[in-house]
Chain A
């Protein structure tokens, strides 16, 4: 556990992707089975056990420390787990009689079966045995608050490097693997066969688009591209496959690979043919696409009631086909996949699944006109649910990540960006008990690597229901407190993306980012979007260039 904690500690400070990889690969090389397997599980978010409540940690320290000293320390450190880890008193045992600190395996396997009443004593024992960093990692782990700041993809890439394998290969077999991944490591180290993915409906890493800018068009030939609408819903991957007995298993994945099938059971029967569709989840009522706000009623629900299903009928609009029965189509050019998709959707013949139409155009001018007025370019009454257009190279294979020059997104409203919530402050008047003033930021490359830089503050635009949700999020994800201001977790994988709408942009030397927004407001909460995919400062700078010069008063 101490060694794993040391890795986490080091990763938390290391900004460079390649260096993070080296640290993780180094750990896999140095640490044996099964500890490294559980580490891989922790890094990829594949561990599951009942988490301990912060109250339990407070009780443990209250029994061992002066409350005034604890209060002063907690104020200073700003993080419960870290405070307790640092001030946990040294165990008063004879040096020769100390039990060895627990291994990661011991911690993980014990936590899986530990009863609620046994938790405090077990935790105290471990805390006595671990060092400061080990205690910190343990407390983060048991409270479910471990923020590692690396993606599951990165951890798998680091594992692949152990055996000089393509990370993509691991991705393909991953859904069939489970901690502590003995077969995976055996294969990576050349001691065993490649594990077979027995999951009939695995997730495939998603392909993403770059935001297109005015200047990009000059270099692009319209004939190379197919355009389609960018629907204002939730990007998903709908996968169906046959298990050993020939039965169909269907799953719905978010763009990050999270299994969200449970939230949309009404779509499962429609996925009755083996295949993998890349598409958009929408709510359709009488054939018309409803706004994102309507779709949002179906998100983050614990219970999906028949009433909810009836009032918010789910629909899948298909963009792409990644697999057809046993065949992996991802190497094929997009134009060919699109043809296969058309056939596949026709064969499905299901009212809940349809094709996203392409937008015919002969020149960029024609596409500009279509984007400006989707209603007259084929979208008809659904035009309000269109966010913009997507441009996809006819010959582009389906590549994971955001490969250059293959897919472009061209949003309709230039005055909307996706930003990440960074700080929250209590509001005034009747909002004074809520965190309702939000500072948000966008990504930029600094000498410390990728960082979020604050670009504005907003305190309206959201509904009362949304305010409650953000307030809850802020309270549960505070990393530090400074007076009335809370620092909210904002890392590549953890945090809340806010869609911010604004009236204009100005240069501002007063702001660290160099830009100031006019009239910014929260137009939507993007629970579905990982912060890593929020907009970049360069996007704002380009918008700024497109703005008429304004003088800041």
Chain B
């Protein structure tokens, strides 16, 4: 656990069980605005619990938004990716890791107050209870289960059911309504075993020992997972990092994730980078920065690499199909296993997944939420580390 948080407004979160801070600040507003409506909550429809709004998924009876894309008074954040975790909210409830990552990206004043919650912990917010469960997406990522009366809605944020040595595995949460992402919601997206992709990378390094290998990977989550996979495959040479990778990667290490010896790529002589592997944000692998590497092989670790046209579009030479999102099989298996009778589908290929749910007799609809993209295409550099 990290020490100093001088600007923390919700100091109560540090001493007493967290459930009070956000709940207490929420209550007066709740009573004023929604008190009169309480009587009918006995017949809670899912859309009375969570409703898509311009700011994001809104929980009126709990007076908060989940992963809001605009500043709101109370935000519940599923994970640290910049399209889900934005700065400028009043109070933020998230896992400790997510809060730490937001602080690293946006600075100490990223929110009016913060409150950390653990996996499995349940707190009451207004007329609902909120419980966090691991989403298996990146370190600290969570699914948020919102329960009112006896109706449970799970907002899963981004998730994957594939193994990942850098974060807590996905937990299946039985529920009535499951809100799922659809980033890879087409049956052509089947990601296979990530360790096989890392073998491909290592085979290329062996074949081209005089060239540098640049692996484009999103700096939060993907990069650390690729490094961990390389270590698991027995690669024990130092791995080099683009400057924009350093802060978050060191944070992962500080949370006890073993990544072996890492070195900054900056300042290393060109010749010394032959035969090495460097992790860089995807955008850096196509700019001038690559000139410091000897005849680089450009790899890109992403679920999009499954489709050749996408890989070609990016000028990738070594596509690595490694995704932090569930693939088609993962999405459909998870949806079925939750036991939910109703599925809300958001960000991605909604049509195909909605169609699949309906063909299985499940009620399903697309949620028109805006502002969630593919993190790989909306990467905001970690503050204070523009160039590297």
Q: How far is the CB of A152 from chain B (nearest CB, A)?
A: 23
Return chain A residues, CB-CB under 8 Å to B200. 6
| With contact pairs A13-B319, A19-B208, A82-B307 given, residues A76 and B192 touching in the complex (Cβ less than 8 Å) | no
Return chain A residues, CB-CB under 8 Å to B295. 16
Q: Does A12 lie within 8 Å of B315, measured CB to CB? A: no
Give the residue of B207, B308, B317, B356 whose beta carbon is less than 8 angstroms from that of A22: B207
| With contact pairs A69-B186, A72-B186, A73-B188 given, residues A86 and B318 touching in the complex (Cβ less than 8 Å) | no
CB-CB contacts below 8 Å: B163-212 with A: 186-190, 192, 200, 204, 207-208
Q: How far is the CB of A29 from chain B (nearest CB, A)?
A: 10
Interface string of B234-251 (1 = CB under 8 A from A): 000000000000000000
Q: Does A13 lie within 8 Å of B188, measured CB to CB? A: no
Q: Does A12 lie within 8 Å of B308, measured CB to CB? A: yes
B338 lies within 8 A of chain A by Cβ? no
Interface residues of A, dominant DSSP = helix
B359 lies within 8 A of chain A by Cβ? yes
B49 lies within 8 A of chain A by Cβ? no
Q: Does A87 lie within 8 Å of B317, measured CB to CB? A: no
Q: How far is the CB of A10 from chain B (nearest CB, A)?
A: 7
Return chain B residues, CB-CB under 8 Å to A66. 355-356, 359
Most buried by A among B308, B349, B356: B308
Give the residue of A13, A73, A82, A132 whose beta carbon is less than 8 angstroms from that of B316: A13
B263 lies within 8 A of chain A by Cβ? no
Q: Does B188 lie within 8 Å of A87, measured CB to CB? A: yes
In the complex, besides A66-B356, A68-B352, A82-B308, 10 extra interface pairs with C-beta distance below 8 angstroms are A10-B204, A13-B318, A14-B317, A65-B187, A70-B187, A76-B186, A82-B188, A83-B188, A86-B187, A87-B187
B7 lies within 8 A of chain A by Cβ? no
A26 lies within 8 A of chain B by Cβ? yes
Could you list some 5 contacts between A and B, CB below 8 A? A22-B207, A66-B355, A72-B351, A77-B188, A448-B315
Distance A73 CA – B190 CA, assembled complex (angstroms): 12
Q: Does B311 lie within 8 Å of A13, measured CB to CB? A: yes
Give the residue of B186, B190, B309 whose beta carbon is less than 8 angstroms from that of A79: B309
Interface string of B342-380 (1 = CB under 8 A from A): 000000010110011001000000000000000000000
Return chain A residues, CB-CB under 8 Å to B192. 131-132
Distance A551 CA – B159 CA, assembled complex (angstroms): 56
Q: How far is the CB of B28 from chain A (nearest CB, A)?
A: 48
Return chain A residues, CB-CB under 8 Å to B315. 448
CB-CB contacts below 8 Å: A87-107 with B: 87
| With contact pairs A10-B318, A15-B317, A26-B207 given, residues A77 and B309 touching in the complex (Cβ less than 8 Å) | yes
CB-CB contacts below 8 Å: A1-49 with B: 6, 10, 12-16, 19, 22-23, 26
Distance A135 CA – B351 CA, assembled complex (angstroms): 26
Interface string of B312-325 (1 = CB under 8 A from A): 10011111000000
A78 lies within 8 A of chain B by Cβ? yes
Distance A69 CA – B186 CA, assembled complex (angstroms): 7
Q: Does A72 lie within 8 Å of B207, measured CB to CB? A: no
B70 lies within 8 A of chain A by Cβ? no
Return chain B residues, CB-CB under 8 Å to A132. 190, 192, 306
Number of B interface residues at 8 Å Cβ cutoff, please give it. 28
Distance A69 CA – B328 CA, assembled complex (angstroms): 11
Interface residues, chain B, with chain A CB atoms under 8 Å away: 186-190, 192, 200, 204, 207-208, 295, 306-309, 311-312, 315-319, 349, 351-352, 355-356, 359
Select from chain B the residue with minimum beta-carbon distance to A15: B317
Select from chain A the residue with minimum beta-carbon distance to B189: A86
Chain A interface bracket (under 10, 10 to 19, 20 to 34, 35 or more) = 20 to 34
| With contact pairs A10-B318, A69-B186, A87-B188 given, residues A76 and B208 touching in the complex (Cβ less than 8 Å) | no
Select from chain A the residue with minimum beta-carbon distance to B311: A13
Distance A22 CA – B351 CA, assembled complex (angstroms): 43
A480 lies within 8 A of chain B by Cβ? yes
Distance A82 CA – B188 CA, assembled complex (angstroms): 9
Return chain B residues, CB-CB under 8 Å to A6. 200
Q: How far is the CB of B375 from chain A (nearest CB, A)?
A: 20
Return chain A residues, CB-CB under 8 Å to B308. 12, 79, 82
Return chain A residues, CB-CB under 8 Å to B311. 13
Q: Does B318 lie within 8 Å of A73, measured CB to CB? A: no
Distance A360 CA – B355 CA, assembled complex (angstroms): 76
Most buried by B among A77, A78, A131, A480: A77
Give the residue of B204, B349, B355, B359 whose beta carbon is less than 8 angstroms from that of A76: B349
Select from chain A the residue with minimum beta-carbon distance to B316: A13
Return chain A residues, CB-CB under 8 Å to B190. 86-87, 132
Select from chain A the residue with minimum beta-carbon distance to B290: A447
Distance A508 CA – B318 CA, assembled complex (angstroms): 35
Return chain A residues, CB-CB under 8 Å to B319. 13
Select from chain B the residue with minimum beta-carbon distance to A86: B188
Distance A480 CA – B308 CA, assembled complex (angstroms): 11
Give the residue of A22, A68, A79, A82 whose beta carbon is less than 8 angstroms from that of B208: A22
Interface string of A149-188 (1 = CB under 8 A from B): 0000000000000000000000000000000000000000
Select from chain B the residue with minimum beta-carbon distance to A12: B308
Return chain B residues, CB-CB under 8 Å to A82. 188, 307-308
What 9 pairs across the A-B complex have the smallest Cβ distances? A86-B188, A87-B187, A73-B188, A72-B352, A13-B317, A448-B315, A87-B188, A73-B186, A68-B355
Interface string of A259-289 (1 = CB under 8 A from B): 0000000000000000000000000000000
Distance A12 CA – B318 CA, assembled complex (angstroms): 10
Most buried by B among A13, A76, A83: A13
Q: How far is the CB of A16 from chain B (nearest CB, A)?
A: 8
Give the residue of B309, B349, B352 whose beta carbon is less than 8 angstroms from that of A480: B309
Return chain A residues, CB-CB under 8 Å to B318. 10, 13
Q: Does A69 lie within 8 Å of B355, measured CB to CB? A: yes
Select from chain B the residue with minimum beta-carbon distance to A78: B309
Q: Does B349 lie within 8 Å of A72, measured CB to CB? A: yes
